[in-house]
Chain A
Amino acid sequence: MLSPEIWNFKAPDSLVKVEKGNIVNNNCFNTIQKLHHNHLVSVVLPDTLRVPQNICETLKNDCEYYKISNVGLDELVNINFINAFVRKGIFISLSINERIDCDDCMCITPNGFLLLSLTKETYESLGLEGTPSHYYNTKQRYVVSINLLSNHFKPGKKNYDRTKDRLLTLKKMTLLINWEPPHLDICPSSVAKYFDDLKFDVQVCLPDFQMRTNYTIKVPNFTMDNIHEFVEWLGMFSLESDLGGGGESYLSTYETPQPYQEYGQVKFLQWRGFFSSQQINKLLEVLISHLKDEEKPWISLYVQGFSDVVVGWDLQEHHYYTNGDNGYVIVLNSEDYMVYQHMCSKKSYK
């Protein structure tokens, strides 16, 4: 008789990719370009007494994003909207308060695709063509992709009229939008004005910024050999966990990996909001120039994507089984960089 597994359970699947290279080649910017919807950014600066103002300001100035409540998705295929914002500059958007594994989600990618991840029932009643999700063998979820920038996608064409008509039947959603204008003399808030004129409830959201200083911290030396341990330490430090070890009363303890060095002050900066990859690019440039000006052992940048977004890395479909991880850590020193990407497993569950 066949009996189930009761003892030897596997760890949840996850994918980790480590990449090393030289800063001069600028390859580390490629990774940033692959993840478009970024939620949380944190920076660790060891041995720093004063954080330069321009690092703090990079993701605070001109990084406002907007929350629009109860938008019908047909507004997003309006030709005026496409011509004014999606075609020009960089427009990204995603739905919030919807779970990618239970509800219907949407997002707009910088290359002008409107992607919908729909449950079976919604998909069947919607009547737009899509493909079954890779992650559900039983075809319980479908992805509909609409190219907003296609030359044929304009009023008068059958496809456009039908798409608009069908999107009208979808439930209204709450969206976050972020638009970077093509020229500096155009205000990024124009997109908010556009929706406000249409009598939608538009809220401006500012990224939440936090800064923390930890004193007398043991910091492991950064070498390319102990990357996993080093990234683990960064995570422990970022979450303000107990790095002291000791304490026999606890079930598990953590100790800073050897060899380590003790620094007087370690700064931790964190931004939480809705950032495009261009904004992260700017931050990385600032960090690299900061590293050149001052002698620092290393600087780390951690970026975390949204867990309920339709596409993750490289515009590939994203899902949420028991976690929706997508993010990366970049550690820089004066010459080299290391990129540590982590993403959801691509396994389809049976």
Chain B
Amino acid sequence: MESVKGYFDYNVTDKCISNNFENIAKQLYDFGYHTIAINQTIDESLLEESISEGKKKKKIERQDIVPSPIDAKIIKGCDKLKILNRLTISFTTQDIINRIIKSPNYRKYHIIAAQPESQQAFQFTCTNFEADIFTFNPSTKPNYKMQRKLYYLLVERGVHFEIMYGPAIEDSTKRKNIIATAHMYHSFGKSRNIIISSGITNSFLIRNPYDVINLGLLFGLSDGQAKDAIQNNGRNVYMHGSTVLEFVCWKLY
């Protein structure tokens, strides 16, 4: 397996790709982030509309239910930069998951993130769904109730909990929600398996890894956890992502 090094940033939103990705990638690389993931989100609400439009369309839609991953070009001067693709699935019911998993594009992603929006979806993520990252929507409060047992269940299965710092800089409501969620992770699971990612939409929000480590203290992490959150845990996510993928492929063929 290829080794991954440097600091990790698993959440560079796909909005960045269209506007000046080269600049952002270069900036991240100079700061020491040598593994980054471009995040694409699929939202359940958008998919449901397409289903209701008619049976004829459904066949075509099924092919494109998961967007194909963005193929980022290698940027000059950043030879060591590793760019991964991450798919975030935001869902309230588990019905949609089966359709997504069957999609051929699904397997092209390196990292899969789950963003449950209801208690049922949360339960499903904890027990059945093979995700690498557990994330949340910073603009709303979580609709589910965290439990210690479920938190540990996710930890045991190697899922990492994501906290993004980009939205926390942008907006005060998001900041409140992010800090509240981070503290919730601290109370329920002693902040185990936390990763901190950027979630940036533009280059102004990029921060130096050492600033992020300091910021980690505010999220309820200890000194060691804060460094792990952008370093060692990031490596674990990559390992988890690639082995799960291999396992799925092996099962299929």
Contact = CB atoms under 8 A, between A and B. Distances in A.
A186 interface: no
A3 B3 contact: no
B214 A322 contact: yes
Contacts of B32: 99, 102
Interface stretch (B67-75, B167-175, B221-229): B221-229
Given A6-B218, A102-B231, A121-B3, A350 B186 contact: no
Interface string A94-121: 0000010111000000000000000101
A5 B217 contact: yes
B187 A3 contact: yes
Interface in A117-147: 119, 121-122, 137-138, 140
Given A102-B5, A102-B34, A122-B3, A137 B224 contact: yes
Please classify how large the interface on chain A is, using the bins under 10, 10 to 19, 20 to 34, 35 or more. 20 to 34
Interface in A290-344: 321-323
Nearest to B1: A121
Nearest to A347: B223
B224 to A, nearest CB: 4
A38 B71 CA distance: 44
A149 B232 CA distance: 35
Contacts of B231: 101-102
A24 interface: no
Contact of A138 (B187, B217, B232): B232
B223 A321 contact: yes
A262 to B, nearest CB: 39
A103 B218 CA distance: 27
Contacts of A121: 3
Contact of A99 (B3, B6, B190): B6
Given A102-B32, A322-B210, A350-B223, A1 B187 contact: yes
A103 B6 contact: yes
Contacts of B186: 2-4
A137 B225 CA distance: 11
A154 to B, nearest CB: 33
> Which label, helix, strand, loop or mixed, suits the secondary structure of the A interface?
loop
Contacts of A323: 210
B7 interface: yes
A349 interface: yes
A339 B164 CA distance: 44
A9 interface: yes
Nearest to A350: B224
Contacts of B191: 4
A137 B223 CA distance: 12
A220 to B, nearest CB: 31
Nearest to B225: A350
Interface in B1-50: 3, 5-7, 32, 34
B220 interface: yes
B213 interface: yes
Given A3-B187, A119-B5, A140 B217 contact: no
Interface in B174-203: 182-183, 186-187, 190-191
A322 B217 contact: no
Contacts of B232: 138, 140
Contacts of B221: 4
Given A4-B220, A102-B6, A102-B231, A322 B183 contact: no
B48 to A, nearest CB: 38
Nearest to B3: A121
Contacts of B182: 4
B224 A5 contact: no
B213 to A, nearest CB: 6
A12 to B, nearest CB: 8
A61 to B, nearest CB: 35
Contacts of B183: 3-4, 6
Given A4-B219, A349-B223, 6 more contacts: A4-B186, A5-B220, A6-B183, A9-B217, A9-B218, A322-B210
10 contacts: A1-B187, A4-B183, A5-B220, A6-B183, A6-B220, A99-B6, A102-B32, A138-B228, A322-B214, A349-B224
Closest 9 CB pairs of A and B: A4-B220, A349-B224, A322-B210, A349-B223, A350-B224, A4-B186, A102-B6, A121-B3, A1-B187
